Copies of this chain bind each other. A is one copy, B any other.
Amino acid sequence: MSKGLPKRSDDYSLWYNELVKRADLAENAPVRGCMIIKPYGYSIWEKMQAVLDKKFKDTGHSNAYFPLFIPKSYLSKEAAHVDGFAKECAVVTHYRLKNDPSGKGIIVDPDAKLEEELIVRPTSETVIWNTFKTWVQSYRDLPLLINQWANVVRWEMRTRLFLRTTEFLWQEGHTAHETKQEAIAETEQMIQVYADFAQNYMALPVHTGIKSANERFAGAEETYCIEALMQDGKALQAGTSHFLGQNFAKAFDVKFAKKEGGLEYVWGTSWGVSTRLMGALIMAHSDDEGLVLPPLLAPIQVVIVPIFKTSEQLDLIEEKLKPIIAALKAKDINVKFDHTDKFSPGYKFAEYELKGVPVRIAIGARDIENNTVELARRDTKEKTTVPQEGLVDRIENLLKEIQDSIFQKALAFRSANTLIADDYSTFKKMLDETPGFILAHWDGTSETEEKIKEETKATIRCIPLGMKPESGICMVTGKPSTQRVLFARAY
């Protein structure tokens, strides 16, 4: 058994990195900033994908696939977009290698230079809008509701497993609509889909809001986001949904014949979540013993560890468990019976704790005698001895209770760490002493936002939706403000 994880209170950042590696979620790839998502980590991502994919289809979207490579010239067609992405692009310039004439391995063949360089997609608006141009002729072709699951590349300078990697996996929705209202409704619908997913599956409370102009997506008119709070008091942007106005339609000349006659540019949206959600999931709930997974996203929901000395004892235990395992599976509960004798029960307990399995059942000779099992929940570490009778229903209820309890705990943490600041010096003190979300008044200008960012490293995470207007004065400039906005230092 390897030694324990670093403690969150000692070094949160080291704790996270070690947890990601030791729980078999991901590791660094040999290529700078890229990651290898290991089977256990990937199985959590697959669960996320399945839920999200169904939500996208239930809201009328279809999946498609667009190419990895984007001609360099496409990127320049939308002015803000190229400014946002050109600085971090992987560029393909050649299409062949050859043997080094001097015999030292292989080199890039200088004769195989591309006429126009290709960009590895950092996001696909340009290539998709170029396609929409041929897909949209009339109002009959609208709305176009497309999603793509894909890998994208952004040449980030400082990377961290899941949170910020050069290559990451994501989905990107791209839609085109007849009217501005319809596009805005789509943008809002999709941020709600993300918020529902975060809260009801990831057990992660999120604030839904609008980004300030500074933090807006390059090419969007409005960016909606969901923002979550991590255990170290830093915020994490977990998903975004962009109202693109007619920007990309104009850049790629996508017009439609209106029902009432005449041509108009279509209205666009795009929206995405990525493997960054894995980082949020890990950071929000886990503890010094390892991962804590909400049951709805746990690849193994229940693990059963038999405690036995002889193979006769194991047979007896298996006999008892057979109908229970079958009944759990019939309820679509993912159960693993770990009867290998490669490792001791104690080792297994620690291992499944590290991997965040929500419910653990241990069963030994005395339990067989008494018709009991030991039931342990990962989130609170409570252990109880319970009768075998009624165990399946008990587990089903317990999984629901754990799902809810993880959410409530994260919600209570967020409430306790969301403070109100009315003046700038209090604001700064809070950031250092009690990090978390801070609600404060702001004069609405980019200049003030920049100044705050520079002086405190805190940014406006969002202008929250659904909050009561409240007049006040900007904590920095004293100018009038109509609503508090949400500040934090962020990942």
Contacts and interface: CB of A to CB of B under 8 A. Distances in A.
Interface of A: 27, 29-31, 34-39, 42-43, 45-46, 62-76, 82, 86-99, 105-106, 108, 117-120, 127, 130-131, 140, 146, 150-151, 153, 155, 167, 169, 342
A167 B67 contact: yes
Given A29-B127, A86-B106, A120-B92, A34 B97 contact: no
A96 B106 contact: no
A92 B95 contact: no
15 contacts: A27-B131, A30-B67, A30-B130, A34-B69, A39-B62, A39-B63, A43-B63, A65-B169, A67-B167, A68-B151, A72-B97, A76-B105, A90-B92, A90-B118, A97-B119
B97 A155 contact: no
Contacts of A89: 95-97
B93 A88 contact: no
A97 B86 contact: yes
B91 A93 contact: yes
A42 B151 CA distance: 17
A33 B14 CA distance: 45
Contacts of A92: 90-93, 120
A42 B64 contact: yes
Nearest to A37: B65
Q: How many copies does the complex hold?
A: 2
A332 to B, nearest CB: 15
A91 B108 contact: yes
Interface centre among A39, A66, A67, A120 (most CB of B within 10 A): A67
Contacts of A36: 64-67, 131
Given A86-B99, A92-B92, 17 more contacts: A29-B67, A29-B131, A31-B67, A39-B64, A43-B62, A43-B63, A72-B106, A75-B106, A76-B105, A82-B106, A86-B97, A87-B96, A90-B95, A96-B155, A97-B119, A108-B117, A150-B151
A119 B151 CA distance: 16
A64 B38 contact: yes
Nearest to A135: B38
Contacts of A73: 105
A92 B117 CA distance: 10
Q: Which 5 A-B pairs have the closest CB atoms?
A: A39-B62, A34-B67, A86-B97, A37-B65, A91-B94
B69 A167 contact: yes
Nearest to A29: B67
A34 to B, nearest CB: 4
Contact of A94 (B31, B93, B106, B151): B93
